[in-house]
Structure 1
Amino acid sequence: MARQIADATQSLSSAGDPLASHHGPADQPRSPYAAYLDSPMAACHVIAETAELASTTGRLAACWAS
């Protein structure tokens, strides 16, 4: 169980990557979606979807391990 929690934690910590990939090192927009993804609502949606994916992955890993 601890391994699944560690895996889920790592997946959740990566949730910001899809958001950050639309900005350059000096926070300049890299894509036309950057302004949209800067909104709190969009950021929450991306993080929620990533959390759901991490949860599903953890459940599948637990099933495969048993």
Structure 2
Amino acid sequence: MLPVLGFGSVAYALDGYFLGLTQGHTLRQAMLKATVIGFFPSAIQQGISIIVIYYGYQCLYLWQQEQ
């Protein structure tokens, strides 16, 4: 059972790596849509302070994508 788990985890990691290499734009768009649809409404219900932290993270992420 352990070798199966080991190979599965390596395959899963490589799948994410190569998906990011080939479909980076699609993944970024999906992340931004998920943020707008899922995170912001729940953050507004919780309080505004968490939005400022996450907004800073998003700005950093987008800034790194431009470079």
Return the index of the structure with the highest Cα Rg.
2
Q: Which has the higher helix share?
A: 2
Question: Does TM-score exceed 0.5, indicating one fold?
Answer: no
User: Which bracket does the TM-score occupy, shorter chain normalised?
Assistant: 0.3 to 0.5
